[in-house]
């Protein structure tokens, strides 16, 4: 997707995936050992919800699209 035309669907998806990867990298680099017990629980719950949303909103749709082609 690196050679996508600016403004195209390919470019928009590539840009969104790049932003997602940057945020995931940022989160992976954070020191979670300083979180309170409640903070760990809440962060884990939110992370799990986001993982499910990502699978449903992105991965599953891409698999279906690839299968349909």
> 3-class secondary structure for 12-68?
HHHHHHHHHHHHHHHHHHCCHHHCCHHHHHHHHHHHHHHHHHHHHHHHHHHHHHHHH
- Asked if the model's pLDDT at residue 2 lies above 70, the reply is no
| pLDDT 10s digits, 28-64 | 999 999 999 999 999 999 999 999 999 988 889 999 9
Average pLDDT over residues 9-24: 95
* Residue 7: per-residue pLDDT: 85
């Amino acid at each position: 997707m690196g050679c996508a035309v600016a403004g195209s669907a390919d470019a928009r998806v590539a840009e969104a995936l790049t932003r997602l990867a940057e945020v995931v990298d940022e989160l992976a680099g954070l020191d979670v050992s300083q979180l309170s017990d409640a903070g760990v629980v809440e962060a884990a719950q939110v992370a799990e919800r986001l993982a499910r949303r990502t699978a449903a909103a992105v991965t599953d749709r891409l698999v279906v699209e690839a299968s349909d082609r």
